[in-house]
Amino acid sequence: RGIQLELDSDSVKVAYTALGPFNRDELAVALIQLIQFVGFLIRTDVINNPDITSPADLQGVNDATIACGAALLLFFVPSVKRPGEPLLTWEQAQQHLPWGVLVLMGGGAAIARGFEDSQLTKYIGQKLATTVSMGRFGLTFFLVTIVCLLTEVTSNTATANIILPILASVAAETLTHPLALLLPATVACSFAFMLPAATPPNSVVFATRRLSIRDFLKAGIILNLLASVFGSVLIYLMGSAVYGVDDPFPEWACQKKACRWVSVPGSINGVQVSSQACALTGVVGVCRLVDGTLWNFTAP
């Protein structure tokens, strides 16, 4: 857009000199950041472990708690460069923090959590079960395209939180190998090139106000089209060769709340099996095999 940035050794040296000497405030911020990283690493094994933290109950502490705690410390640790003030003041936070980006990312996460808690993901999964019949390549291309479009309006993480539980429900309902559905969708969550909300780096660049939505669209739509086509082909080929997605529904994916593993021999996708998954039907003691046969798994 006509913006030229010249970077050479002299300009870098000038910028480095302008920073001034390393001071105590910068050291304090670095230590707080280090404490935050250590907290992330030891949270599960130490902080949430009642054998270590007893009698205090810290099992409710999560990554968000640690991140917010580190941020709050910046408002309480006094500054040396600005006596009488903390390292970070509320005025500075209001002025420099990209609130729009936070609302954008947080909104996507909130939508994903709402889908999950309301059981909407399970309901949609049951309604989409018929899409499995379109063949694996068609299904792969369909999933990659849909997720590629969806991830443009929500973050990759929020898209994964929304779509993966839905596809897991579809796999359990149809007794399709879950990786045949989850693998294309997971990879496609990273095909976010077109809009600022698609991924955090896009949001950060958009927050600089040097690029407009039009600039993102012009560059991103070509990448999205190429990713949908070539990504689908690559995922289809690697799915069979590496992950065995054409195999029968695996035992590790048979969760008790939706499935039972029964000793019923048969042929599934050309593979002879001695036992197989059986999807629960809602009738006590009755499940459905992949060929549609109803089976009483409580019978001796």
CB 79 within 8 A of CB 92: no
Amino acid 219: pLDDT: 78
Lowest model confidence (mean pLDDT) among 85-89, 104-108, 113-117: 104-108
Q: What tokens appear for 150 in the block? A: 């969806």
Whether pLDDT at 24 is above 70: yes
CB 61 within 8 A of CB 69: no
Q: Which residues of 87-104 are buried (b: 16+ CB within 10 A; e: fewer)?
A: bbeeeeeeeeeeeebeeb
Specify burial of residue 258 (Cβ count, 10 A radius: 0-12, 13-18, 19+). Answer: middle
For 46, residues 6+ apart whose C-beta sits below 8 A from its C-beta are 52, 53
For 35, residues 6+ apart whose C-beta sits below 8 A from its C-beta are 70, 73
Whether pLDDT at 298 is above 60: yes
Band of residue 39 on the pLDDT scale cut at 50, 70, 90? very high
Lowest model confidence (mean pLDDT) among 70-74, 109-113, 133-137, 161-165: 109-113
Whether pLDDT at 75 is above 60: yes
| Helical packing angle, 63-74 and 24-42, nearest 10° | 170
| Residue showing tokens 């106000």 | 209
More confident residue, 47 or 210: 47
Whether pLDDT at 235 is above 70: yes
